[in-house]
Structure 1
Amino acid sequence: MTQPDKDNIDSIHMEGGIKDQHDTVAATTAATPGDSGKEVSDPIAAIKTKSGRDKAAQFLKQVDHQVTITPADNARVLRRIDLRILPLLLFTYCLQSLDKTTLSYASVFGLIEDTNLKGDQFSWLGSVVYVAQLVFQPLIAYLLVRFPIGKFSATMVFCWGAVLCCMTAARNFGGLMATRLLLGSFEASVAPTFVAVVQMWYRRREQTTRNAAWYAMLGVVNMLGSLLTYGLGHIKSTLHPYQIIFLFCGAITVAFSVVMFLFMPDSPVEAKFLNDEDKIIAIERLRMNQMGIGSGVWKWDHVRESLLDPKTWLWFSLMFIISIPSGGISTFGPLIIESFGFDSFTTILFNIPFGAVQMVATLGGAWLADRFRMKSPVLLLLCLPPIAGCSILLSVGRSPGDRAVLLAGYYIISFYPGISPLIYSWSGQNTAGDTKRKVTTAMLFIGQSAGNIVGPLLFRPSERPYYTRGLTANLALFAALAVLIAVGMLWIRILNGRQANKRRAMGKAEHIQDASMADRRKVGTQEEQEGLGEKAFDDVTDLKNEDFIYVY
């Protein structure tokens, strides 16, 4: 790589790494002899023979030249990463969301009557997916550490698509329960995998918008999915409309799993769409995350620290609370609209604006969090519309003249999906260490799964049109969520104080800037930033790295 003129560069050289400084980033990496005393000519092969350290650290030890990374280099590589990684995440999550919500669409096309569902059976069909996801989260955490993430995700996509196709043959509650249980088992990997992928490829400043991008597919599904099922519901066939929905969505998912297998890389180190120089840039630009990209080694001390870390239980509680209304509304949403006095096809069409508001709230919340570099105040802001929406649905009658107000209340409830991706990012950006990240993410999704189990059970078809119990519970939960977010802000402040005390005791600068969250032009001087990033690729946890800065 051609180096820029030295007069225009303020380079900072570190052992095996880089540091942000004004407009230019410099990386100094040197060849290191292998275990046999000879230099390793194949970095990838060398990585596969080692264990215990992050893949990035092992890769960088094999580089035999100095690399200077300019802002243009960083922007170019980031653009290439976005063009390859984001489309795969977006389309896969769109399929997963569509496949999971086919049940709610099927409910307005005669599924309940044709399969003779009684009492809480339909509610349990909504919850059982999350029972499976809850049970399988610990296994998913282990598999994400031990197996190549690209191949693993492609396999899971194929499996859940095949199961959805088989759901077409279900004729009763037992058959539907069995297929929904299997569907949840394979879908359990999707969101944890995507959180891990974003952590592996993006700086902390970039993670919020990328997590929001794939999560915003929920809104796309509620719009396009409603139109899709509206069209499929009009097909004249020997199959019931809901069976056509299951078969069509499952077949698309199976086909896309092949695309995932061929094009989803396992890590920046193994990415075929990057040349060797770009791989170095892709890795080095993540140094100030202080998180690494992945070690491939399961570490029980990380597991123990994760379970004893109060932050883990904060993320768990936040996801549990937000997922209760999420699970209930996603399952019963079309039925709630239908209870306003609309027929099946009109109900599906009126569900489209719900998806549009979801997408605006998710992307808008991420934009605000990125602009102000804080997630917690935006989370508090996003709690307000659902509180207002639940209040409207509880206080307004169900006469034909109330439909406009009821729809408005229902639509502003749909701001709640913007909350979950911000919690993903808040958790991910405050946790370091490969195994600890995966275990913490597993705990987060155990909370999400538990909440999604409870959510549909708060609603019953027999309680239409008011659904008082479910809406009252949701109102209380959104208020409790706001209180917990405030507690989290206080705890982050305490943790940063402890980190500053550690640095002072070690003779380091007490107050440092977080280069992973700041613009490069605003990063501090060399003296202020000296020594940062030394443990970035050592696969140490956030509590063991005094340079780790927690973010609000």
Structure 2
Amino acid sequence: MAAQKDNPDIIHLESRTDQGDPNPKNITSEITPVPKPNTDSPLTGRDKAAQFLKQANQATIIVTPSENARILRKIDLHLLPIILFVYCLQSLDKTTLSYASVFGLIDDTHLEGQEFSWLGSVVYVAQLVFQPLVAYALVKLPVGKFCATMVFCWGAVLCGMTAAKNFGGLMAARLLLGAFEASVAPTFIAVVQMWYRRKEQTTRNASWYAMLGVVNMVKPSPRVYNLGSLLTYGLGHIKSTLRPYQIIFLFCGCITVAFSIVMYLFMPDSPMTAKFLKEDEKLIAIERLRMNQMGIGSGVWKWEHVREAMLDPKTWLWFCLMLTISIPSGGISTFGPLIIQSFGFSSFTTILFNIPFGAVQMIATLGGAWVSDKIHMKSAVLLFLCLPPIAGCVVLLVTGRASSDRAVLLVGYYIISVYPGISPLIYSWSGQNTAGDTKRKVTTGMLFVGASVGNIIGPQLFKPSEKPRYDRGLRSNLALFVVLAVLIVAGMLWIRVLNTRQAARRRALGKSEVIRDLSMMDRKRGDNQYDEEILNMGEDNVGDKAFEDVTDLQNEDFIYVY
């Protein structure tokens, strides 16, 4: 490729092996002018992206904005279909338990007392136990191959769940299911972090998480003609000695096993090894991530990163946020259909009325991500998303259970269903404020430890004996949504403190105190007109530590986002 450097349509992405013009002001880029590298530093322990760029031995990469957009589209087309379908399968596999309860599972397996609640919780017990191993594996092992193997194993377990005849058999199957599913969401967060700019990450995380809404609309429901009618009609009318929920377990398990093979073959482990990218495209895919200041992956487990993660107040903030949202999430996801049924509806009508719940989930998840991208803030959107669930809990608590109250009760239930939009924003808020390969994986692990604990506690707050009102569970959820809002405000204040400290560090080092976060910027006026701040940044070698596998606290140029 050849181009003139004074052409405003050209992005210049410089390789770290470049020994050319040392003045970054002379380089223009949609993302950042790349600083002159220090090629004398050792590669051991650095990000694999730094090693790849050095080995490429290419002085300059010149790419037009259209090429940059083309590579992003290429990444989306190859990664997102796999991620979305796998998460849809996981959501479907886990939540079929709640619908099985409506269609005879409890009676067939002679469940008593809190046994059904424990079937909902045991998956998260396993995920809680396995999160440290998942964090280690995501640093040391090829990400795509590791996740595909786990998907295969959970599909096989789901097939075997068909044979469970009692509480013990169901518990064993659900325990294994949780162990193998523990890696899926952390892997997808890691994949998004290693392929996308911070500006692009929120919508990608929201996209795969929105599959929960799809599942709630197409969830197996015999004889109900909804968006999943073709699947459910066929499964519900198979002539077999198996019960409908057993057929569903078997069908979903076989689909999962089959798709795990597709995932193993086509899911790349990193931009450096992606077969769908040419060599020059790999370089562009890497360089466009420089101003994330997060790197891609080192493959080296660093205990100093673990220590920093555990001592960093942010880590515990993310943990508390996920714990707080996951308690009501765990209860509603398990008892949601039973809550609707308690309004006085039949089993089939219960399934039908749960379809809008899934639609609201999708709108809240994708809409929340879209708004946060537009205003460049996740915290404000998170605060707003806390309000509808608070109102919904109040409606269900103060409304009676007479047949004339059904419409109001349904509205209250649907308002609560905004809450799933909160979790993916927490994933993105956490991930975009953490750097260093090991630290990122440990922090993500802590997120899912909090989520697992919350999902264990959540179903225990609802007891079948308390129907039709489920007052204890709803009061607890109301209090937790209020606590969540308080924690979000605390997070905003702490981010402000951290950015003030970073500015002071830069000033002490003789650098510019104020720098712009180019990883969160994009075109503001369309086509070929770019924000002047993007075109003129590059002072103080901002970005020279991007692929050094240093943590956010070790990099004075790291900018924390709200």
Q: Per the shorter chain, which TM-score range?
A: over 0.9
**CA-to-partner distance for each residue in 1:340-389, whole Å, 9 max, x for gaps?**
11111111111111000000000000000000010000000000010011
Matched residues in 1 for 2:372 and 2:445: separation?
24
Shift in CA distance, 88/51, structure 1 to aligned 2, threshold 3 Å:
farther
Matched-pair contact (CA < 8 Å) for 2:35–2:538: no
Shift in CA distance, 5/511, structure 1 to aligned 2, threshold 3 Å:
closer
**CA-to-partner distance for each residue in 1:493-515, whole Å, 9 max, x for gaps?**
00000000000000000000000
Alignment of 1:92-107 (within 5 A): 92-107=86-101
Find the partner of 1:544 among 554, 557, 562.
Answer: 554
1:223 aligns with 2:224: no
Whichever residue aligns with residue 262 of structure 1, its letter is L
1:109 aligns with 2:103: yes
Matched-pair contact (CA < 8 Å) for 1:428–1:437: yes
Aligned to 2:223: none
Alignment of 1:205-216 (within 5 A): 205-216=199-210
Shift in CA distance, 484/32, structure 1 to aligned 2, threshold 3 Å:
closer
Matched residues in 2 for 1:266 and 1:456: separation?
36
How far off its partner does 1:51 sit? 4.3
Matched-pair contact (CA < 8 Å) for 1:109–1:233: no
Shift in CA distance, 336/16, structure 1 to aligned 2, threshold 3 Å:
farther
Matched residues in 2 for 1:16 and 1:314: separation?
39
1:469 aligns with 2:472: yes
Aligned to 2:443: 440
Matched residues in 2 for 1:238 and 1:84: separation?
41
Find the partner of 1:301 among 294, 304, 316.
Answer: 304
Alignment of 1:220-369 (within 5 A): 220-226=214-220, 227=226, 228=228, 230-231=232-233, 232-369=235-372
Aligned to 1:79: 73
1:535 aligns with 2:545: yes
Matched residues in 1 for 2:107 and 2:94: separation?
20
How far off its partner does 1:237 sit? 2.1
Find the partner of 2:490 among 487, 491, 495.
Answer: 487
Matched residues in 2 for 1:422 and 1:178: separation?
33
Matched residues in 2 for 1:260 and 1:188: separation?
17
1:126 aligns with 2:123: no
Matched residues in 2 for 1:365 and 1:233: separation?
36
Matched residues in 2 for 1:527 and 1:128: separation?
51
Please tell me the root mean square deviation across aligned C-alpha atoms, in Å: 2.1
Whichever residue aligns with residue 387 of structure 2, its letter is L
Shift in CA distance, 147/380, structure 1 to aligned 2, threshold 3 Å:
same
Matched-pair contact (CA < 8 Å) for 2:32–2:534: no
Matched residues in 2 for 1:248 and 1:541: separation?
44
TM-score normalised by structure 2 residue count: 0.92
Aligned to 1:161: 155
Matched-pair contact (CA < 8 Å) for 2:34–2:543: no
How far off its partner does 1:528 sit? 5.8
Matched residues in 1 for 2:174 and 2:44: separation?
38
Aligned to 1:43: none
1:199 aligns with 2:202: no
Whichever residue aligns with residue 340 of structure 1, its letter is F
Matched-pair contact (CA < 8 Å) for 1:27–1:69: no
Matched-pair contact (CA < 8 Å) for 2:378–2:429: yes
Find the partner of 1:379 among 357, 382, 385.
Answer: 382
Whichever residue aligns with residue 537 of structure 1, its letter is F
Matched-pair contact (CA < 8 Å) for 1:25–1:71: no
Matched residues in 2 for 1:437 and 1:60: separation?
22
The number of residue pairs the alignment matches comes to: 538
2:440 counterpart SS class: helix
In structure 1, stretches of 5+ residues that fail to align are 36-49
How far off its partner does 1:529 sit? 3.6
How far off its partner does 1:26 sit? 5.9
Find the partner of 1:146 among 135, 140, 144.
Answer: 140
TM-score normalised by structure 1 residue count: 0.94
How far off its partner does 1:14 sit? 7.7
**CA-to-partner distance for each residue in 1:237-280, whole Å, 9 max, x for gaps?**
21011111111111110110011001000000000000000000
How far off its partner does 1:165 sit? 0.5
Aligned to 1:40: none
Matched-pair contact (CA < 8 Å) for 1:60–1:280: yes
Whichever residue aligns with residue 314 of structure 2, its letter is K
Larger mean Cα displacement after TM superposition, 220-229 or 512-521: 220-229
Matched-pair contact (CA < 8 Å) for 2:388–2:415: yes
Aligned to 1:412: 415
Matched residues in 1 for 2:483 and 2:50: separation?
42
Matched residues in 1 for 2:39 and 2:394: separation?
64
Find the partner of 2:164 among 170, 182, 190.
Answer: 170
Whichever residue aligns with residue 206 of structure 2, its letter is A
**CA-to-partner distance for each residue in 1:47-69, whole Å, 9 max, x for gaps?**
xxx74111100000012221113
2:519 counterpart SS class: coil
How far off its partner does 1:34 sit? 13
Identity across matched positions, percent:
72
Matched residues in 2 for 1:52 and 1:205: separation?
27
How far off its partner does 1:12 sit? 8.0
Shift in CA distance, 32/290, structure 1 to aligned 2, threshold 3 Å:
closer
Matched-pair contact (CA < 8 Å) for 2:436–2:551: yes
